[in-house]
Structure 1
Amino acid sequence: MNFDYHYHPYPSQRSTVMARNGMVATSQPLAAQAGLDILKKGGNAIDAAIAAAAALTVVEPTSNGIGGDAFALVWTKGKLHGLNASGPAPASISIEDIKKRGFDEIPVHGWIPVTVPGAPSAWAELSKKFGKLSLKEVLQPAIEYAEKGYPLSPILGKYWEYAYRRFQQTLKDDEFQHWFETFAPDGRAPKVGEIWRSEGHAATLRSIAESDGESFYRGEIAEKIAAFSKKYNGYLSKEDLASFQAEWVEPISVNYRGYDVWEIPPNGQGLVALMGLNIAKGFEFNEKDTADSYHKQIEAMKLAFTDGKAYITDPAEMGTAVEELLSDHYGESRGSEIGDTAIEPDPYQPAKGGTVYLAAADGEGNMVSFIQSNYMGFGSGLVVPGTGIGLQNRGHDFSLNPDDANVLKPGKRTYHTIIPGFLTKDNEAVGPLGVMGGYMQPQGHMQVVMNTVDFHLNPQAALDAPRWQWISGKKVQVEPHFPNHIAQALSRKGHQIEVALDTGGFGRGQIIWRDPKTGVLMGGTEPRTDGSIAAW
């Protein structure tokens, strides 16, 4: 791939990192280093990804946790494998019962939106199928950070304080007090540079490590989760946990100008990114920073999201085949609807996300694209007493309308925002990519892929470039450093442009590309967070 290695469109002025023996890119330096330490101990990229993911539950609890979900794309021995570790709704839940409790939609916090956590199962499955080291050894860095503590980094401290202020106002019931005991032990959020530790979190990670994940689903931890749920009239049961297993799936792809772009199939929204690229490939993009280029990208993403929200849910419930939505006919048909001015598809209201993404690679050619999340920052606001486990609120995305594709049903998996991405060319790995952040994720994937393929930006520049985000209708947000003259030109085309005050809502990404001839790894990390690349 031919890149411009001197292009720095973002104030960070970071350079692409080069290495050969191994690389881990995450949103937290300590987690990246944890993955690199495992590589140096003889582990492979899969071991490093698990180590970094587990460490991220400790060093970035504002975005993910042991009680969240995970997805992974793993390239090894010339083949790409997909793992779906998103848990279903509890077997005892029902629309009727939720409405009897006085809700017309699924709330954000509390037990109602809690689904079965999948992340520990993802770690165990990845380790069992592809790892070189034991899970006990791989989780040790995370255990040490939880036990001994670590100092908060700047962006982490910012979002921790935001969450504390919000929860202080909204989470008044007794069931939420364990969150404050765990994450605000001094009666406030820890400050940047202060040490935070969680012995309960360390004990939970150690139990998962020693039992290869069994204790979380069919052992002592499962008992604690189920007892906490029962105490507060939650739906999640011991049987729900015991019946869960992460699922190996076949990744889906579209070919975009000679490159195969890969995503996890539904229930994830990776399909939206692929549909957007499938529509966009019908147009020429000769220059990056023109109003016409941005206009066509935005319009393609609008159409893809409209269809994604209409159809994506648990694959067992999807009435429209993925193959049809990724067909050339679909892309051409939808592309024909794009004209010179902004269109307005059926609107929806996106939610903000709380997610971590990491990429890992080793000198043997193994590469991992991994993402995990609690959703909306700290998730449900529930922490299982004495365990450090913050439970996700993924069930919030379920609809209570029986006519919607993503309607709530017992044992069903919801529409999922978190998506890992991967790029190949001519059946060779180019590498993992991801942009975390709720409904920004497929939009970030599309922009990063186009920055790479159409505009030849190196990995760091592809992440640095100013981003846009379609919100709903004709409303589009752009970053503060987005070119003003282009924003004005888009406005003249009918887009309702809003300049965001900060970059927090535009996703946080990581990229590792591999040169197939030399094996050299090229990494970029996110300037919008405490991003870091550890390499050797």
Structure 2
Amino acid sequence: MELYGGLISEEDLDSVKAEWMEPLTIKYRDYEVNTVPPNSSGFQILETLKILETLSPEKIKFQDPDFIHYFMETTKLAATDRITHGGDQSIKVTPTEKLLSNSYAKYQSTRISNNKVNLLAGEVFNPDAPQGALTSVDLNAYDGGMTTHFAVADKDGNVVSITQTLGGGFGSALAPEGTGIFLNNMGNWFDLDSGSSNQIGSSRKQDFCLSPTQTFKNGEFYASVGTPGSWGIMQTTPQMIVNLLDFDMNMQQVIDSPRFKTIGGKRVQMEGRFPKALVDNLKNRGHEVVGLPDWSPSVGGGHGIKKDQSLGSYQGGADPRRDGYAIGT
């Protein structure tokens, strides 16, 4: 980087130290779902699940119009909170205890109407939110393309789940001599707004979307799922977790099932394999459906492992939307 006039030195890189952190955990039905804490934005995944959990089990039906509408609206509420509260924890601490509480999930559920489509403001880098877009709740006043994911498990029961990114195409397009490793360009995810919890600066940690998950049942490993996909990670991952935990799919079905992604305003991308009757129903409610191909990399490239707790065997799944495969050795 210094060779090409960059501002980052070898000493800067040497000063960065990896930190061991406790995972962020929620109880979802009979399972414990874990992901990485802020400055990662994985809390959006967990908030989505907590709001969905307010539904009675009989209302959680695969590709049911009422449930899919509720799921879409839930992702908007959780994304709005992530945009408001995410960022460098040395500047502003994300109130995850409140955001992931049962009482807050119940309150958020009251903001969802079966016949109304809320407006999503869009990402933090979009200054032009549509009029009437969702805003985050005042919690102080409230009472009560170059990203990859992989998971590895061994015979001793150790499981590692990693989501890694270069950012843009080939990252910064720089590979230190002799390493064969491209350097990422994720610094462009910082912003320049004074006072922002995501403002660029020395030793700052940006609001980051990479959010691998691990799920446990009765204290034992049950499954790991994750995906690339930028801010869409936090929408794709809960869809896979619901397929896994609510619909009891095998890992390949979990990953193969068609996906959606809310993208701002009333717009929502949907893969072409969703039934036409479902899509028409959502359009009639006010969703502006943007059609995707049957299998679209726009909604991620998930990979996962599921453990049969009675047999001790593992089941892997890989996403045909992007490169990847499942293998046992």
Q: Do both share a fold (TM > 0.5)?
A: yes
User: How far apart, in 2, do the equivalents of 1:272 and 1:438 lie?
Assistant: 13
User: How far apart, in 2, do the equivalents of 1:349 and 1:479 lie?
Assistant: 25
User: How far apart, in 2, do the equivalents of 1:240 and 1:460 lie?
Assistant: 42
User: How far apart, in 1, do the equivalents of 2:273 and 2:223 lie?
Assistant: 28
Pick which of 395-404 and 295-304 moved more: 395-404
Q: 2:54 matched to 1:279?
A: no
Q: 2:265 matched to 1:490?
A: no
Provide the residue aligned with 1:270 in structure 2: 42
Tell me, yes or no, if the aligned pair for 2:120 and 2:263 is still in contact at 8 Å: no
User: How far apart, in 2, do the equivalents of 1:483 and 1:439 lie?
Assistant: 26
Equivalent of 1:260, from 22, 26, 32? 32
Provide the residue aligned with 2:140 in structure 1: none
Structure 2 residues not aligned, in runs of 5+: 127-144
- AA at the equivalent of 1:250: E
Provide the residue aligned with 2:328 in structure 1: 535
Tell me, yes or no, if the aligned pair for 1:354 and 1:373 is still in contact at 8 Å: yes
- AA at the equivalent of 1:509: G
Q: Using structure 2 for the length normalisation, give the TM-score.
A: 0.88
For residues 311-326 of structure 1, the aligned pairs below 5 Å read 311-326=85-100
Tell me, yes or no, if the aligned pair for 1:354 and 1:375 is still in contact at 8 Å: yes
Q: 2:207 matched to 1:415?
A: yes
Provide the residue aligned with 2:139 in structure 1: none
Tell me, yes or no, if the aligned pair for 2:163 and 2:227 is still in contact at 8 Å: no
Closer, same or farther in 2 for the Cα pair 1:350/1:281, shift >3 Å?
Answer: farther
Q: Using structure 1 for the length normalisation, give the TM-score.
A: 0.55
1:381 Cα offset (Å) = 3.0
For residues 20-419 of structure 1, the aligned pairs below 5 Å read 229-284=1-56, 285-340=59-114, 341-348=116-123, 353-385=145-177, 387-419=179-211
Q: 2:300 matched to 1:507?
A: yes
User: How far apart, in 2, do the equivalents of 1:426 and 1:389 lie?
Assistant: 40
Closer, same or farther in 2 for the Cα pair 1:403/1:438, shift >3 Å?
Answer: same
1:231 Cα offset (Å) = 3.5
Per-residue CA deviation, residues 483-502 of structure 1 (Å, 9 max, x unaligned), is: 22211111111111000245
User: How far apart, in 2, do the equivalents of 1:320 and 1:266 lie?
Assistant: 7
1:385 Cα offset (Å) = 4.9
Closer, same or farther in 2 for the Cα pair 1:350/1:419, shift >3 Å?
Answer: farther
User: How far apart, in 2, do the equivalents of 1:485 and 1:379 lie?
Assistant: 41
- AA at the equivalent of 2:298: G
- AA at the equivalent of 2:70: K
Tell me, yes or no, if the aligned pair for 1:431 and 1:511 is still in contact at 8 Å: yes
Equivalent of 2:250, from 450, 458, 468? 458
Closer, same or farther in 2 for the Cα pair 1:275/1:350, shift >3 Å?
Answer: farther
User: How far apart, in 1, do the equivalents of 2:5 and 2:297 lie?
Assistant: 35
SS in 2 for 1:244: coil
SS in 2 for 1:508: coil
SS in 2 for 1:236: coil
- AA at the equivalent of 1:516: Q
1:260 Cα offset (Å) = 0.9
Equivalent of 1:518, from 311, 317, 322? 311
Pick which of 326-335 and 374-383 moved more: 374-383
Provide the residue aligned with 1:89 in structure 2: none
RMSD: 1.8
1:350 Cα offset (Å) = 7.8
Tell me, yes or no, if the aligned pair for 1:469 and 1:506 is still in contact at 8 Å: yes
Q: 2:217 matched to 1:443?
A: no
User: How far apart, in 1, do the equivalents of 2:69 and 2:268 lie?
Assistant: 11
1:403 Cα offset (Å) = 3.9
1:387 Cα offset (Å) = 4.1
Per-residue CA deviation, residues 62-98 of structure 1 (Å, 9 max, x unaligned), is: xxxxxxxxxxxxxxxxxxxxxxxxxxxxxxxxxxxxx
1:349 Cα offset (Å) = 6.8
Tell me, yes or no, if the aligned pair for 1:310 and 1:405 is still in contact at 8 Å: no
1:517 Cα offset (Å) = 2.3
User: How far apart, in 2, do the equivalents of 1:286 and 1:247 lie?
Assistant: 38
User: How far apart, in 2, do the equivalents of 1:230 and 1:367 lie?
Assistant: 38
SS in 2 for 1:301: helix
SS in 1 for 2:312: coil
- AA at the equivalent of 1:337: R
Higher relative contact order (CA 8 A, sep 6+): 1
User: How far apart, in 2, do the equivalents of 1:248 and 1:319 lie?
Assistant: 18
Tell me, yes or no, if the aligned pair for 1:310 and 1:404 is still in contact at 8 Å: no
Closer, same or farther in 2 for the Cα pair 1:418/1:320, shift >3 Å?
Answer: closer
Identical-residue share of aligned pairs (%): 33
- The size of the alignment, in residue pairs, is 307
Tell me, yes or no, if the aligned pair for 1:251 and 1:263 is still in contact at 8 Å: yes
1:310 Cα offset (Å) = 1.3
User: How far apart, in 2, do the equivalents of 1:331 and 1:535 lie?
Assistant: 39
- AA at the equivalent of 2:275: P
- Structure with a larger share of its residues in helix: 1
Structure 1 residues not aligned, in runs of 5+: 1-228
- AA at the equivalent of 2:43: L
